[in-house]
Amino acid sequence: MPITEILARNAALYGEEISLVEINPEIKEVTASWKDYELVETNPEKRYRREMTWREFDDKANRFANFLLGRGLTKGHKVGILLMNCLEWLPVYFGILKTGALAVPLNYRYTEDEIKYCLDLAECDVLIFGPEFTERVSAIREQVPNIKIRLFLGQDCPEFAESYYALTACCSSTAPKIKLSDDDDAAIYFSSGTTGFPKAILHSHRALMISCEVEMNHHKQTREDNFLCIPPLYHTGAKMHWFGSLLSGSRAVLLRGVKPEWIIKTVSEERITIVWLLVPWAQDILDAIERGDIKLEDYKQDQWRLMHIGAQPVPPSLVKRWKKYFPNHEYDTNYGLSESIGPGCVHLGIENIHKVGAIGKAGYGWEVQIVDEQGHPVKRTDVGELCVKGPGVMRCYYNNPEATAEILKDGWLFTGDMAKMDEDGFIYLVDRKKDVIITGGENIYPVQIEDFLRTHNAVKDVAVIGIPDHRLGEITAAIIELKPGFSCSESEIEQFCKEMPRYKRPRRILFENVPRNPTGKIEKPKLREKYCGGSLVEAQTESH
């Protein structure tokens, strides 16, 4: 059953109940452009919130669907979504799905070139974007001729786009009569390997529905739950965790901001029961408590039952610290890839906190195996590549059969992550086969940074690796080999890197020769051994 039917069911059964709340602590005034929903001042600090019922949610999705259909969109068309988290994000997503078109969420950190690349790769016909992206979209608007419709969601619509609010307000809120099946294509998400070029991941409606079932099975959501969603909705992790709220018909809160005080205050005021955190945010909350910036006795938290973490390895010491201050919390960690419709193909399980450090066992409806280079299962406790199999595996890398064949074999998804299984069947990540660096839950692709740094006239060679970091899990380090006779300082490299987005800039810069093997490949294991003391995950655990 397509998930659009779950939304329609919720609207019919729980129409006047709140489905979504948006809280933006940084909004300081109410402007006419936000009259679509009333902004409510909830405290003297001007924390504004907007809320939406299940009926309003479904109506908005239907209006957007009918607008798209009226403009000629049909099954197979693609609609790019370039929005910050907001109350409109999910109605836009579901409106696209209701037409039979494919939703194509875009990373809000993408540069102009990356936006263009992804729009072209996914063959998008429509782009809806927010005010934060006006300059980036303007810069490429003549370079993406396939985009026939540009919709702007915000105030002061630029001249090269049309207003989402104005166009959808007059559309019918009746559900469009488009027949959808589980086998229909539903969405394209983006991933990337060490080449740094995103791959377009194609998922079906069945995969989206499976993610709903996996999430609710793992975390036991009921209609009394209230999920706090902080990560960006373009990411499969955030959206697929929210799918548990969709299936259970329960409320969720979108918090725009990650300050520890905002998170704890929202948990208290909104009576949050489930929070999904990234490692840096959990670290920041604990640090704020220990500094005395947050006094837990000032907040209502008796209803908060579950904290779960994913997107990167979780140091056991972090969970130990967390349980010191939140002894009654259930805890879970989830492992997944966008290729496996986000989190949950492997998960620890709230009953297995004694196994903290492991990523867990096969998730609900999933199979796992660990294999050697020939694809044969390894012996228990031996290291090999983690493979997963289940109904949430992607269909393919869109328009990339060669890359698809490399990762999908006989129904198994080869994750590229090296792992081992203990005698009890729990899986532990050992290292990554790929060179992707995960810092604060975001993927960093070393080749992009290496290629950029090699354009500096003093740089002969460069290698970028991830090194352990207490807060972010990993930070990027650039090992730079200078050309003979050239000199260069760390501050000069830092200034040079300001042309890159902030999150891609190396956090450490080291000057030395870059080791390469006889075939010309950078010997990154040697660099990790030197700066990490072994495998990344082992070093990370030892650093705590």
DSSP for 376-438 reads PBPPTT--EEEEEESTTS-SEETT-HHHHHHHEETTEEEEEEEEEE-TTS-EEEEEESS--EE
The dotted CATH code for 305-432 is: 2.30.38.10
Rounded to the nearest 5 percent, the helix, strand and coil shares of the chain are: 35, 30, 40
Encoded amino acid at 467, one letter: I
- The CA distance from 295 to 251, in Å, is 27
Using an 8 Å Cβ cutoff, are 270 and 238 in contact? no
Which CATH number does the domain 3-257 belong to among 3.40.50.12780, 3.30.9.10, 3.30.1520.10, 3.30.460.10?
3.40.50.12780
Question: Does residue 139 surpass a pLDDT of 90?
Answer: yes
* pLDDT per position as a tens digit, 153-206: 998 999 999 999 999 999 999 999 999 999 999 999 998 544 457 899 999 999
- The helix or strand, by DSSP H or E, that contains position 337, with its residue range, turns out to be strand 330-337
Structural domain spans, the chain: 3-257, 305-432, 438-542
Paired sense of beta strands 78-82 and 330-337, if any: unpaired
CB proximity list for 475: less than 8 A, separation 6 or greater = 439, 466, 467, 469, 507, 508
Paired sense of beta strands 78-82 and 102-105, if any: parallel
Instruction: Supply the pLDDT for residue 35.
Output: 39
Question: Does residue 535 surpass a pLDDT of 50?
Answer: no
- The CA distance from 321 to 316, in Å, is 9
Q: For 438-542, which CATH superfamily applies?
A: ANL, C-terminal domain (3.30.300.30)
Instruction: Supply the pLDDT for residue 429.
Output: 84
Question: Does residue 39 surpass a pLDDT of 60?
Answer: no
Residue range 263-277: average pLDDT? Answer: 96
**Of 6, 344, 19, whose CA–CA distance to 182 is shortest?**
6
8-state DSSP, 175: P
Question: Does residue 38 surpass a pLDDT of 70?
Answer: no
**Of 241, 331, 230, 240, whose CA–CA distance to 277 is shortest?**
230
Using 50, 70 and 90 to split pLDDT, how confident is the model at 45?
very low
> Which tokens is 347 given?
């998960």
Question: Does residue 32 surpass a pLDDT of 70?
Answer: no
Instruction: Supply the pLDDT for residue 312.
Output: 67
Instruction: Supply the pLDDT for residue 243.
Output: 96
Evaluate if pTM is beyond 0.85: no
Using 50, 70 and 90 to split pLDDT, how confident is the model at 506?
very high
Question: Does residue 22 surpass a pLDDT of 70?
Answer: yes
Paired sense of beta strands 126-129 and 78-82, if any: parallel
CB proximity list for 151: less than 8 A, separation 6 or greater = 126, 127, 128, 129, 161, 162, 163, 164, 167
Question: Does residue 9 surpass a pLDDT of 70?
Answer: yes
CB proximity list for 228: less than 8 A, separation 6 or greater = 252, 253, 255, 263, 266, 267, 270, 272, 274, 275, 276
Instruction: Supply the pLDDT for residue 65.
Output: 98
Question: Token pair 């109350």 is at which residue?
Answer: 87
